[in-house]
Amino acid sequence: MSPLTILRIEKLKTFGNVAGSDDHVTRNRETPNADPTKENVRLIGGEDERALEEIVKEKISTLKHRPRHDAVLCTEMFLSASPEYFRPGDPSQSGQWSDSLMQQWAIASRDWLAQNYGSKCVRAELHLDESTPHIHAYIVPVNEKTGRVSHDAMFGGRGGQGRIKLSKLQDSYAAALAPLGIERGVKGSKATHTKVKEYYQAVNSEPLTAVITNNQLAPIPFESARNYVARIQSDDQFQAINHQLADRKFLIERLERAEQRARDSEKERQQLEKRVRSLEAQTQQLRDLALEDVAWELGLNCDRTHQSRWKGHGHIINIDGPKFYDFAPDQQKGSGGAIDLVMHVNQCNLRQAVVWLHERFGESGAERAAIAKTREVAAEIIQLEPRTPFQLPVEEKSKWTAVHNYLTQKRGIPENFVELLHKRGLVYADDQQNAVFVMRNLGLYPQAIGAFLRGTRGENNTFKGYEKGTVRREGWFHFRLGGQPTSPVEKVVLLKSPIDAVSFAMLEYQLRGDVPPNRTLYMAVDNPKSLPVEQLQNIPNVQVAFDSDDFGNAAARVVKELLPQSKRLKCKADDWNQQLLDYGQQLRQQHQQQQEQDDELSL
């Protein structure tokens, strides 16, 4: 059976009717047959969040004449299609549909409303929280000729005019949906459709009562089966019960889904409770022992007049949270933590204090005290111990020629760019003839906080590594090309090594014949752990040009998770430096062939 169009209209004669309909459609009123977990969509009027009543009043206020006391102020139009369209596989699956089919129908219906009613259609709401998708559209029936609201001029009329207009309206809507395979019902059919209000009344009524009290559904004596079926199918009560049964099934399925969600939520709650208990245990482990408990075990007594003061063994100790101070005349000193308190009272060393705490508070208590002591010592060291600033390897100028030749001859990097990097202090030679690539932060004035070393001495030198003290998470070998020097970076290329970064930039330059049009940052990142996510997350164009091996592909996937805008870029050779060498060889061969052709022509 082909799916059919569904179109109903309802007259709203008072602003109270308008407000009531709006409350239902926007779910400001409880709707038992609606699924609260699904969201509806506003197709028309989405930019206006005012109440529908206010919008209709404003529309009518622009007319020449005020509405008559019995005028229809707004027409509610109900649009849908039979279930066979939305769920062709099984129309009985209430509350389910094909999203793509639903979207095609919704767009076609919205366009039809806009084309036929324009600004008169002040709102259209797509409902997706009931058994079948449908649209509630609100049309202010403005008659431009008379300057009044007139439902009859648009949809009604006397002498059968209303029936003719509604038939043409059905034809028009069916024509708009015809490309989707949705057809119009049989013209002139005596079958009547439930109105919008009657539909919801049917949905919320008791089906058995409706069947028992409706004698029209009973067979007539000597009535044939075919005539009986035709009569039943054309009866309003039969249509209402069909709607009702579909919604009852929808509600049962929704209840089952809700129960399943409740079971899943209970499992999740139990898992969260287990996690919370684990975190509480871990947090407790990080807390020191209460000094009051330690003082009691040490044989001190709490002063009843000063609850924070403990006396005994010649001590007058005031406890304030994790800190204590001994006010005894021959003591006059303080500290903090359980271990220090035991060392102070028992006049013992740290190891003896830990053993004493283990005897009184068990292994976990001793560990808590030890952890607290360690944290205290660590905090003190962090605060007081001076930092040793990073020192770049000492430059050895006599070795630069050898490093320069390695980069230009063996690695195929253009001489002028090598000299440019050297002049900027981004690469130089150390006393071991290593190429030193300076790693800097990404600040406005980048500071050197590390160095990557590449061995160049000998034929097959494979040495590479980082200078001691390099901060790998905060410094990178990088340089910028293209655009204006003061322009913000619009593109970032991530590569595994400094030589790959330089090689990639030179490949781009040779292929383009110029620097990039936009400011581009070339950056060596050998591991996603050192990726500066915060600095790169707002740059729209990020290219990940790691090697095409398993490690490079795995690293690229991690970068994609951290920077969703990034795109993978693979080289054809083993790495970008090899691709630069191959391209250089190709250019030389082309140049040689061209030279030979020129020589032949000159002969």
Looking at residue 598, what is its pLDDT?
A: 75
**Rounded CA separation 406/459 (Å):** 10
> What do you get for the CA distance between the two ends of the chain, in Å?
85
Residue range 46-66: mean pLDDT, rounded: 89
Residue range 43-48: mean pLDDT, rounded: 88
Higher-confidence residue: 600 or 586?
Answer: 586
H or E element, residue 365: helix 350-384
**Rounded CA separation 171/168 (Å):** 5
Q: What is the pLDDT of residues 319-366, one digit of tens each?
A: 999 999 999 999 999 999 999 999 999 999 999 999 999 999 999 899
- 3-class secondary structure, 421: helix
Looking at residue 490, what is its pLDDT?
A: 94
CB 433 within 8 A of CB 456: yes
Amino acid at 195: K
DSSP collapsed to 3 states, 20-73: HHHHHHCCCCCCCCCCCCCCCEEEECCCCCCCHHHHHHHHHHCCCCCCCCCCCC
Checking if the pLDDT of 599 tops 50, the result is: yes
Residue range 154-179: mean pLDDT, rounded: 87
Phi and psi for 567 in degrees, rounded to 5? -130, 140
**Rounded CA separation 488/81 (Å):** 53
Looking at residue 414, what is its pLDDT?
A: 95
61-75, 179-193, 441-455: segment of lowest average pLDDT:
179-193
Residue range 473-499: mean pLDDT, rounded: 94
Looking at residue 272, what is its pLDDT?
A: 82
Mutual angle of helices 52-61 and 15-25, in 10-degree steps: 140
Give percent of the chain with pLDDT exceeding 70.
Answer: 89
- For the record, the structure tokens of 133 come out as 């998708």
66-70, 358-362, 478-482, 575-579: segment of lowest average pLDDT:
66-70
Checking if the pLDDT of 187 tops 70, the result is: no
Checking if the pLDDT of 192 tops 60, the result is: no
Looking at residue 53, what is its pLDDT?
A: 93
Residue range 220-231: mean pLDDT, rounded: 77
Among residues 516, 504, 523, the alpha carbon closest in space to that of 440 is found at: 523
Residue with tokens 């003839």: 433
Looking at residue 46, what is its pLDDT?
A: 83
Q: What is the pLDDT of residues 110-125, one digit of tens each?
A: 999 999 999 999 999 9
Checking if the pLDDT of 220 tops 70, the result is: yes
Residue with tokens 């767009």: 107
Amino acid at 439: M
- For the record, the structure tokens of 310 come out as 């403990």
Checking if the pLDDT of 60 tops 60, the result is: yes
Positive or negative: CA dihedral 473, 475, 479, 482: positive
Question: According to the per-residue pLDDT averaged within each range, which of 43-47, 83-87, 476-480 is highest?
Answer: 476-480
Q: pLDDT-derived band of residue 603, with 50, 70 and 90 as boundaries?
A: low
Higher-confidence residue: 200 or 513?
Answer: 513
Residue range 50-69: mean pLDDT, rounded: 90
CA 314 remoteness from chain centre: 64
H or E element, residue 511: helix 498-512
- 3-class secondary structure, 475: coil
- 3-class secondary structure, 477: coil
String of DSSP letters for 543-570? EE---SSHHHHHHHHHHHHH-TTEEE--
Count other Cβ atoms within 10 Å, centred on residue 118: 10
CB 150 within 8 A of CB 143: yes
What residues does 494 pair with on adjacent strands? 523, 544
Checking if the pLDDT of 170 tops 80, the result is: yes
Looking at residue 257, what is its pLDDT?
A: 75
Distance (Å) of CA 484 to CA 420, 441, 513 = 17, 20, 17
Checking if the pLDDT of 193 tops 50, the result is: no
Mean pLDDT of the residues in the chain:
87
pTM of the model: 0.51
147-161, 265-279, 454-468, 564-578: segment of lowest average pLDDT:
265-279
Higher-confidence residue: 591 or 255?
Answer: 591
**Rounded CA separation 220/237 (Å):** 17
Looking at residue 602, what is its pLDDT?
A: 62
Looking at residue 70, what is its pLDDT?
A: 86
Among residues 44, 228, 38, 55, the alpha carbon closest in space to that of 133 is found at: 38
Residue with tokens 């709607």: 243
Q: What is the pLDDT of residues 228-281, one digit of tens each?
A: 777 776 666 665 666 666 666 666 776 777 778 778 888 888 888 888 777 766
- For the record, the structure tokens of 301 come out as 């007594």
What residues does 478 pair with on adjacent strands? 523
- Element counts in the chain: helices (H) and strands (E): 19, 21
CA 509 remoteness from chain centre: 37
Give me the torsion for CA of 520, 524, 528, 533, rounded to 10°: -40
